[in-house]
Amino acid sequence: MIENDIPALDWQGNAIGCAICAHQDRLSLGACKPLSACVNDRYAKRIDRFFGTNPGLAVDYISHPYFEVRAVAAKYLDLFRLNRLIHDPDETVRASVALRLPPKVLIKLIHDPDREVRVRVALRMNQEDLSTMLHDPDYYVRVVVARRLPAHLLFNLTRDPDSSVRREVALRIDDQWLAMMANDSDDEVRLTAIKRLPAGLLTPFRFDHDWRVRLEVAERIPIEHLSALLKDEDEIVATTARERLETSGTDSKGHHHGN
């Protein structure tokens, strides 16, 4: 739908009349315009254009009954007044606040009831404060935390109940924890960790039940341990092992045959 096709209605569905608007004097100044920039319109883009032209008026709308007006006003408030909206009853408003609060102040929103608000908090919070969100009830908030948490603190999430979180941990955790992550019960987590393991530590994973893990092993394990994979039930794994042996000039018993 083209924006101009969206009727000029207020948040209660009533037609908008400029004649009774408190800001009608701004119409002649070009500071507002029907169907384009209007604080009384229920369409958020028009509200935003109004405050973009008249940012000083945002403070007058902190308590407006329509949540979109408060959410857009939050983009233009000074930080002192923005604090007044931290506990707004609408999550859209609080999400808007979370995008503007200084990172140090975001700790006030770590227990917000809405997960989208907490996601925004986790995305912007200072790394050193992220430990306060390690046990957030929503898995995706913890995924964001795992992506941003300093690597030396990731051990706190190695036993997270959600495999998506543990996979993010396996991507970034310090090498000393990789062997533990490589034994994770989830195939994706295990594979992620094993891809980062040094070749010399891959031998115990030759018989992993996931063929992708065994393929990773077949591609990188030291030649002398490859023979166990020559008869792997997966053809790709077995072929990979055989081709590596042939290329290296080693037989199935690990004996090297030079020219």
Q: What is the mean pLDDT of residues 189-197?
A: 98
Note the pLDDT tens digit of each residue in 35-57.
999 999 999 999 999 999 999 99
Domain range summary for the chain, segments of one domain joined by +: 1-101, 198-259
Backbone angles phi, psi at 9, to 5 degrees: -125, 150
Show the CA angle centred on residue 136, arms to residues 130 and 138, nearest 5°: 125
Other Cβ atoms closer than 10 A to 249: 12
CA–CA dist 116, 71 (Å, integer): 14
Q: What is the mean pLDDT of residues 174-186?
A: 96
Note the pLDDT tens digit of each residue in 80-134.
999 999 999 999 999 999 999 999 999 999 999 999 999 999 999 999 999 999 9
Report how far apart, in Å, the C-alpha atoms of 32 and of each of 62, 65, 74, 122, 235 are.
19, 21, 19, 36, 69
pTM of the model: 0.86
Decide which of 1.10.3720.10, 3.90.320.10, 1.25.10.10, 1.10.4100.10 is the CATH code for 1-101: 1.25.10.10
CA–CA dist 220, 216 (Å, integer): 6
